[in-house]
Amino acid sequence: MIHYKSREEVELIKESALILGKAHGEVAKMVKPGVKTITLDQIAEEFIRDNGGVPSFKNYNGFPSSLCISLNENVVHGFPSEYELKEGDIISVDCGVFFKGFHSDSAYTYPVGEITEEVMQLLKVTKESLYKGIEMAVYGNRIGDLAYAIQSYVEDYGYGVVRELVGHGIGRNLHESPEVPNYGKRGRGAKLKDGLVIAIEPMVNLGTKSVVQEADGWTIRTADRRPSAHYEHTVAIFETGTEILTTHKFIEENFKF
């Protein structure tokens, strides 16, 4: 069942999303060679809690951390650890915040120092595909319209769109209906109605679309071990227009590439 939100509920999600955006900004300041990924997790959790929020991911179905930190060939659901970032890595930071009864969710993939042109293009195209999807996430369209926009854009570059992992509705629960895949056919899927709030999150691989789960039971990586990128926004759809509730502004004030 899809839970449509009132304007008042969306305003509460925006409050959650502001804390989330600022937490991402604090993490962005520390994405550089030599920093342990567990440090990024500690920074995010401390900021979220200091501002009255709760990390959405921590203890969610047993997940141990506030951030999903996925390096290089890892797509999503990686753990923070004692690993020290090094020049040439890419790192996806996915975070959620629960505040005043509502969740928000967003993700960003960073280059660490200098990376290859090939991988930099993957990051840029994946980020652009998020906004291609958002452009089609408008009242009266269907899930398939935004999914097709993402898929067709990234596949023009020869990249693989992950099938097993998808975006989702969000609100009082971190994961709600409907599922929001990054592949599909125009005119198919749930209709985008007034008050629908969804997390759109392209997960795009440099090589094959195929993924495998690591032995830790959480981390998903590319089957060919080539890099993967992941960007995400939470958006609200109204008859009067679509609003991006989360923000990457605080990231991009602190981290330029």
Q: What is the DSSP annotation of 112-146?
A: -SS--HHHHHHHHHHHHHHHHHHHH--TT-BHHHH
Known binding residue 156? Answer is no
CA proximity to 107, closest of 119, 91, 128: 91
**With contact defined as beta carbons under 8 Å apart, do 32 and 221 qualify?**
no
What would the two tokens of residue 48 be? 């979220």
Cα–Cα distance measured from residue 225 to residue 222, given in angstroms and rounded to the nearest whole number? 5
Instruction: Work out whether the CA dihedral 227, 211, 94, 130 comes out positive or negative.
Output: positive
Known binding residue 105? Answer is yes
Q: Nearest 5°: CA angle at 105, between 134 and 59? A: 155
Known binding residue 50? Answer is no
Known binding residue 230? Answer is no
Q: Pairing mode, if any, of strands 196-200 and 203-205? A: unpaired
Cα–Cα distance measured from residue 147 to residue 181, given in angstroms and rounded to the nearest whole number? 6
Known binding residue 233? Answer is no
Q: Within its chain, how far is the Cα of 228 from the centroid? A: 13
Known binding residue 194? Answer is no
CA proximity to 235, closest of 141, 122, 148: 141
Known binding residue 232? Answer is yes
Q: Nearest 5°: CA angle at 127, between 124 and 133? A: 135
Cα–Cα distance measured from residue 209 to residue 163, given in angstroms and rounded to the nearest whole number? 7
Binding positions for a divalent metal cation are 94, 105, 168, 201, 232
Binding residues: 77, 94, 105, 168, 175, 201, 232
Residues making up the binding site for substrate? 77, 175
